[in-house]
Structure 1
């Protein structure tokens, strides 16, 4: 598995928030976002989609877990809509792990990521983990797990 430290910029995003247990409803939120983005002609080769679980399901009751399905947008795009929120995602250093977009491969990645952090001189920062879907990876069924990090 490829793992590199990357400094992500701050992003302006349009997003759909799903509240409830993580699982199939997250995929529905992403599909809703993709449909909206496609209608706005934002779903193209330069698109970056983000999946952001906002809460730790081991400490947050399932019915209160928040998941944001996002697309990166420019400052100039005026995209007001009743179903879509606009927000900012702060940048910073992230451990980027490119993985096949299957539940099994993502679970396996986490078994490698945590030990890797302990030996790399970094630890997780107090920001949400991001799943990043760039066009060139999405169509090959890959994604990037972006883990916020800071030096020990």
Structure 2
């Protein structure tokens, strides 16, 4: 069964709300109201669109977020369990083990072994920077990063070109000050490839009305960030992200809840892999 664009738009609104309020108590009644459907129809439509029930979807995101939080050596499993909404560590252990197939303590141990190996690699040193908030138009795709990134950027550029022509606007892709930014929501060592979320984003000084279906307009919040310049292939960027996380915890810095992101400094269409440069930004307090 295919869903109408209006229905898809409403389900995406709920997904966005869940992602922004993942640390809160989320009840289906509230989410149904946001979607504008009855409890029954919302649950049915959500599963049709995502392949997961709303309950499974929320539980998965909470557990995956908890699994990633274990890279922070300063956080205990009990602290992570409470942040994930579990009243007792035993309840968290059971849910984590059922979902991932191994205990959280084993996951934490393996993450720290991997981090030690990455720390020994030769990379540029991270730094702390401050950025202003920026307005972006973005396109989301779901799937393994090596395919979803290409699909998201291809769709974003095509739809913006069509939008500019339709509305008699100048080329929306030719501004030298424009920032090309990617937001990867999931750790590929934790989240199944078919569930990974990625957004291709372009910055714009002004906002636009009536964007085509498939595009959204959102702010990337400013503030303090730990930053690291990654040089080379995008395929090796995961190690740079892990080094940046490790550095942040070693410095005793506290992460903010805002999304991490990467800024692409050159175009892979015209640049060899060895010369690619990407700035990584991790929000900190």
| TM range, smaller chain | 0.7 to 0.9
Please give the secondary structure, in 2, of the residue aligned with 1:124.
coil
The structure 1 residue matched to 2:243, chosen from 109, 112, 125, is 112
Q: Which has the higher contact order (CA 8 A, sep 6+)?
A: 1
Aligned residues: 147
Q: Offset at 1:42? A: 2.6
Aligned counterpart, 2:218: 87
Rg: which structure is higher? Answer: 2
Higher strand share: 1
- Is residue 255 of structure 2 the alignment partner of residue 132 of structure 1? no
Cα RMSD of the aligned pairs, angstroms, is 2.6
Please give the secondary structure, in 1, of the residue aligned with 2:127.
strand
TM-score (norm 2): 0.45
Distance 1:127 1:56, change over 3 A: farther
Q: Offset at 1:132? A: 0.9
Distance 1:75 1:124, change over 3 A: same
CA distance in 1, matches of 2:151, 2:194: 16
Which ranges in structure 2 are unaligned for 5 or more consecutive residues? 1-123, 165-170, 268-274
Aligned counterpart, 1:18: 141
Aligned counterpart, 2:277: 142
Runs of 4+ in 1 over 6 A off after TM superposition: none
Q: Offset at 1:99? A: 1.2
Which ranges in structure 1 are unaligned for 5 or more consecutive residues? none
Residues 35-84 of structure 1 show CA distances to partners (whole Å, capped at 9, x for unaligned) of 44466423232110110013445665543332111001122555722332
Q: Offset at 1:112? A: 2.4
TM-score (norm 1): 0.78
Q: Offset at 1:119? A: 2.6
Higher helix share: 2
